[in-house]
Homo-oligomer: A and B are copies of this chain.
Amino acid sequence: MWGSPWRVVGTGSLVRRGSSSTSSRAPEVVLTHERYPVQRLPFSVVSEEDRAAFERMVPGRVIMDPEELEASNVDWLRSMRGCSKVLLRPRTSEEVSHILRYCHERNLAVNTQGGNTGMVGGSVPVFDEIILSTALMNQVISFHDMSGTLVCQAGCVLEELSRHVEERGFVMPLDLGAKGTCHIGGNLATNAGGLRFLRYGSLRGTVLGLEAVLADGTVLNCLMSLRKDNTGYDLKQLFIGSEGTLGVITAVSILCPPKPRAVNVAFLGCPGFAEVLQTFHTCRGMLGEILSAFEFMDATCMQLVGRHLHLASPVQESPFYVLVETSGSRAEHDAEKLSGFLEQLLGSGLVTDGTLATDQRKIKALWALRERITEALSRDGYVYKYDISLPVERLYDLVPDLRARLGPRAKHVVGYGHLGDGNLHLNVTAEAFSAALLGELEPYVYEWTAGQRGSVSAEHGVGFKKRDVLGYSKPPEALHLMRQLKTLLDPKGILNPYKTLPAQA
């Protein structure tokens, strides 16, 4: 109850996605082409001569050591495994251009890789594609103090960019659990949503420009730093969200909003999903423009972060939990709005327990409960992941439905996500991958989503795992145009093959 002392959990540092924290206990990951029905396309195989050519282009940065390659062949969910024999680490767009021109000429397939934190198998090779890593393209090019415009190379780590701009009084317009590892170029290629989407909107609005290298090595410089630019077609949009299949993003220009002076986080327990929705409705009305996040998680999520990560719940056990964040320019105004909101919730019975954090340490601790769910799930076993957009009123219906459908065949079925954006993360865990369980889940989940006119990929993208389900959210005319665009920009199909577009029938 509100009368009880406000408890706050300890700060746990986020384990970096992409690190090999789980590899010691984990079994070998099955090769993707052994698990899934996929045929290698007739690309060339990297020869001794090719390696020598690459060595001339990026001297000392041609990686062939099997152990080093292992980390880049396997995705961080440990659900996919390629067998690439070569990883390249260019430092400049010119080097990327040389590499692609050569690969295009030689018909060699290329898999661009940022922080390798993707959820849909888009960032690792499926067969022996050359891995083009952006890890060494990690320089900030400029930051403009007046406008908040950051220009940087694609391999900059999101958390480092956050630090850079925060020191200058701004924040990055996006934030996500994988921030310690993911690259900004990968964020754009995925069109990542994340935790600040509700407030600052999509990357399609906040990205001001980008530079991309096309399949044939052409450098396309659209690295503008202007808020408005209507000089013809907005070419940068082609590369945002196309997962490296139309070009390699090498640099980014992004608009950073001013750093809010006051940030508050409330963590609340709700007795049911109807109350979660009502809380959201009340919240939008009373917090208005200072609302910066509205996240929810179910009781099973809380149990799993407790069991696997030893994070304690800061509030009484509840069927649902809500995290509300406010960000504003005047602390006392925000506090007044928030206390009015919390009083209203208390009076109405929408919330049964809650805690409020205003200092940085406690705020981080509360956010960790939400941000580390993905990590907790990955420690629970093999994870079947669904990331869907739905009308907000129906957002949770599928979770109890699936629990009943799967029964004891699933270890856990959980639902959490960005309620404010109508975005559900639906996850099912099991001891190991099983084609039978997959058959229970798919196409059922996709059909259910299509029935609500939802999206079968809200923010995680398509990658390898979702490429054959696009038809649930896109009409045939759209898939046809996607293919035409792919053929126009990458006629030989060398860029991130087997991804994003449906496999040809």
Tell me the A residues contacting B by CB distance below 8 Å.
144, 146-147, 190-191, 193, 197, 201-202, 204-206, 218-222, 224-235, 237-238, 240-242, 246, 258, 260-261, 281, 284-290, 327-330, 333, 336-337, 389-393, 418, 421-423, 453-462, 466, 470, 473-475, 477-479, 481-482, 484-485, 488, 500-501
What separation, in Å, do the CA atoms of A225 and B390 have in the docked complex? 9
| Inter-chain pairs besides A201-B201, A232-B474, 11 sampled, C-beta below 8 Å | A147-B391, A202-B228, A220-B475, A225-B453, A228-B459, A231-B456, A233-B500, A235-B482, A258-B285, A289-B327, A330-B337
Chain B residue nearest in CB terms to A236: B237
Considering the complex, give the chain B residue whose CB is closest to the CB of A459.
B228
Contact indicator A231/B289 (Cβ below 8 Å): no
Residues of B close to A242: CB separation below 8 A:
233
Residues of B within 8 A of A337 (CB): 329-330, 333
- Distance in angstroms between the alpha carbons of A193 and B500 in the assembled complex: 32
CB-nearest residue of chain B relative to A238?
A: B233
Min CB gap A333→B, angstroms: 4
Q: How far is the CA of A391 from the CA of B218 in the complex (A)?
A: 28
Given contacts A204-B204, A221-B477, contact A234 B191 (CB under 8 A): yes
Q: Select one of B261, B392, B423 contacting A146, CB under 8 A.
A: B392
Q: Which residue of B lies closest to A237 (CB)?
A: B237
Which single residue of chain B is at the shortest CB-CB distance from A200? Answer: B201
Write out the residue numbers on chain B whose beta carbons fall within 8 Å of the beta carbon of A391. 144, 146-147
Residue of B nearest to A240 (CB): B234
> Among B228, B327, B477, which residue has its beta carbon within 8 angstroms of that of A423?
B228
Q: Is the CB of B455 within 8 A of A224?
A: yes
Q: Is the CB of A232 within 8 A of B289?
A: no
A204, B234: Cβ atoms closer than 8 Å: yes
Q: Which residues of B contact A330 (CB under 8 A)?
A: 288, 333, 337
Give complex CA distance A484, B228 in Å.
24
Contacts of A289 in B (CB 8 A): 260, 289-290, 327-329
A458/B226 in contact, CB under 8 A: yes
Contacts of A488 in B (CB 8 A): 484-485, 488
The interface residues of chain B lying within 8 Å CB-to-CB of A390 are 226
Contact (A462, B230) CB under 8 Å given A478-B222, A478-B235, A488-B484: yes
> Could you list 25 examples of A-B contacts with CB < 8 Å?
A146-B391, A147-B392, A147-B422, A191-B230, A197-B228, A202-B204, A204-B205, A220-B481, A221-B478, A224-B453, A226-B454, A228-B389, A228-B423, A229-B458, A229-B473, A230-B459, A230-B460, A232-B474, A232-B500, A233-B241, A260-B288, A289-B328, A330-B333, A333-B336, A485-B488
Considering the chains assembled together, what is the distance between the CA atoms of A478 and B201 in angstroms? 26
Q: Residues of B contacting A461 with CB < 8 Å?
A: 230
Complex: chain B residue closest to A456, CB-CB: B231
Bound-state CA distance A286–B333 (Å) is 12
Q: CB-CB < 8 A to A479: which residues of B? A: 232
Name the CB-closest residue of B to A280: B146
Contact of A193 among B144, B228, B470, B477 (CB under 8 A): B228
B474 touches A329 (CB 8 A): no
CA distance A479 to B231 in the complex (A): 10
Cβ of A457 and Cβ of B220 under 8 Å apart?
Answer: no
CB distance from A47 to the nearest CB of B (A): 30
B333 pairs with A235, CB closer than 8 A: no
Question: Which one of B191, B202, B233 lies within 8 Å of A485 (CB-CB)?
Answer: B233
Which partner residue on chain B sits nearest A221 by CB separation? Answer: B475
Measured between C-beta atoms, what is the minimum distance from A6 to chain B in Å?
Answer: 24
Whether the pair B477, A218 counts as a contact (CB closer than 8 A) is yes
B477 in contact with A219 (CB, 8 Å): yes
A454 nearest in chain B by CB position: B226
- The listed residue (B328, B392, B393, B423) touching A288 by CB distance below 8 A is B328
CB contacts (< 8 Å) of A240 on chain B: these are: 234
Closest to A224 in B: B455
Most buried by B among A197, A289, A330, A458: A289
A359 to B317, CA, bound (A): 48
A227 CA to B284 CA, complexed, in Å: 16
Q: Which residues of chain B are within 8 angstroms of A285 by Cβ–Cβ distance?
A: 258, 329
| Cβ–Cβ contact B228 & A458, under 8 A | yes
* Complex Cα gap A312–B221 (Å): 47
